[in-house]
């Protein structure tokens, strides 16, 4: 059930907010970003270092623009993508069926590079299903994302909303909608995405598009985690690229054990999720050469 924040809850969060601000001020005061950009842009190696700053320089971004963009890269999405990785990894390694299927796909993917390319990762259907299901079962952001109805008012599904009305949506409720995702919506089951696509492909052969429309609605619902339109996440493509790589590369190299299966983590929520004490033990797999 969705709810707003009471005054008491906001007051309780204030010390943590203050601590984050103090850390940000410390970072800015040390002028780390200024130093990095100035050193890079004053050298002959500003483009060929192989990092994101090199990409900025390659596209003729000025030093001033790069400084601003670096702060976005450092702060925006760091906590949310970490939550997506933690939550999805936990669901994978505690589900033997999913882990076996994913490793089987990895083993037959014909991987030759040390790190899989984003392009190749997108061709692996079960990996893509796992990523979508991870975002669906545990959205990193589950605040209401309130928007205000414009001065003209608006109508949605026959209901009129007057100007100034504040509307919000609970991502946690949306991505567990049984009418859309099935009666097992509370279960981590990547196969639902494979099944939905297969059903859409089969129906289209018969000239029916109902299953395709449902698949698009499923994908759009999960995609809303990143926002939409002018409120869309600027780092969405980078986040998806990270997800395309991290699970495959970790699981092809290591076996993971949750050290405390009775309480695998300490997870708190204040609009976004934050976890700590997520302790795993990694064992190098002997049957792989990477």
Diameter over CA atoms, the chain: 64
- What HEC string does 162-227 produce? CCCCEECCCHHHHCCCHHHHCCCCCCCCCHHHHHHHHHHHHHHHCCCCHHHHHHHHHHHHHHHHHC
* DSSP labels, 112-142: -SSS--HHHHTT-HHHHHHHHHHHHHS-SB-
Packing angle, helices 96-107 and 78-93, rounded to 10: 100
121: left (phi over 0), alpha (psi -120 to 50) or beta: alpha
Sole residue written with tokens 């981590």: 188
Name the residue among 15, 286, 230, 237 with its Cα closest to residue 122: 237
Packing angle, helices 210-223 and 125-137, rounded to 10: 60
Sole residue written with tokens 């000025």: 62
Please tell me whether 233 is known to bind a ligand.
yes
Q: How far apart are CA 135 and CA 123, in angstroms?
A: 19
Binding-site residue set for heme = 233
Binding-site residue set = 233
């Amino acid at each position: 059930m969705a709810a707003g924040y009471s005054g008491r809850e906001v007051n309780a969060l204030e010390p943590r907010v203050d601590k984050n601000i103090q850390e940000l001020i410390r970072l800015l005061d040390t002028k780390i970003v200024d130093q990095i950009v100035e050193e890079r842009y004053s050298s002959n190696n500003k483009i060929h270092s192989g990092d994101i700053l090199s990409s900025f320089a390659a596209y003729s971004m000025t030093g001033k623009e790069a400084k601003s963009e670096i702060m976005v890269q450092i702060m925006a999405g760091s906590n949310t993508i970490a939550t997506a990785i933690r939550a999805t990894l936990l669901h994978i390694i505690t589900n033997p069926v999913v882990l076996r299927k994913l490793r089987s796909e990895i083993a037959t993917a014909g991987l030759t590079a040390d790190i899989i390319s984003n392009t190749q990762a997108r061709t692996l259907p079960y990996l893509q299903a796992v990523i979508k299901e991870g975002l669906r079962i545990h959205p990193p952001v589950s605040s209401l994302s309130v928007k205000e109805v414009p001065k003209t008012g608006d109508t949605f599904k026959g209901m009129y909303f007057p100007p100034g009305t504040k509307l919000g949506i609970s991502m946690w409720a949306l991505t567990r909608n049984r009418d859309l995702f099935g009666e097992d919506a509370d279960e981590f089951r990547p196969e639902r995405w494979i099944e939905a696509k297969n059903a859409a492909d089969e129906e289209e052969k018969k000239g029916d598009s109902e299953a395709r429309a449902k698949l698009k609605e499923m994908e759009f619902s999960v995609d809303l985690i990143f926002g939409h339109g002018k409120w869309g996440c600027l780092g969405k493509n980078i986040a998806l690229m990270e997800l395309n790589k991290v699970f495959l590369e970790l699981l092809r190299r290591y076996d993971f054990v949750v050290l405390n299966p009775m309480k695998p983590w300490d997870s708190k929520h204040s609009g976004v999720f934050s976890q700590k004490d997520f302790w795993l033990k990694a064992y190098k797999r002997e049957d792989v050469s990477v």
